[in-house]
Structure 1
Amino acid sequence: MSCGNHHETPCVEVLARVYTYIDGELATADCASIQHHLEECGPCLREFGIEEEVKVLVKRSCTDPAPAALRSKVLTRIQQIQVTMVETER
């Protein structure tokens, strides 16, 4: 998506990081850059609004905790991936 205007931060980069931005997980400088882009770019601002609404709906709708067995499987898999990544980097 692009509004056709040149921005310091390209639309594709903003949209790829929108959930990280919504979650407040970006560095201050990155947040400021994305906020500035959203202030200037209508299409990205609309997409951001849609993604923000989806996040709110999911949070409101998904209040049941995950079963313990599922949680255990997910955590085990994350650990396996981390070990594989460390071994690959060596």
Structure 2
Amino acid sequence: MPLNIGCTARPGRGRDNKTGSWRVFYPIFTEETCTGCEICVLLCPEGCIEKKGEKKYVPDLDYCKGCGLCAEECPGDAITMEKEEK
């Protein structure tokens, strides 16, 4: 059986199932330091960050896994990961 090289699943497959329940951290967006670059939207593996204004981004916490990729790659350090209390 040959192995496929690269991504074999389409992005956003997690949208088929709500995956936010197993999250430990969640993103907090700060408009004051946001540059509006939309890198967080482009890099989110679940495609669950939505632009609501010029520098206002909102994650859909039903699908956010809390991976922190958005916070790690944000050039303006406008996203912090907070521990979720359950």
Q: What's the TM-score bracket when you normalise by the shorter of the two chains?
A: under 0.3
Higher relative contact order (CA 8 A, sep 6+): 2
Give the number of the structure whose residues are more often strand, by fraction: 2
Give the number of the structure whose residues are more often helix, by fraction: 1
What TM-score, normalized by structure 1, do the two folds share? Answer: 0.25
What TM-score, normalized by structure 2, do the two folds share? Answer: 0.25
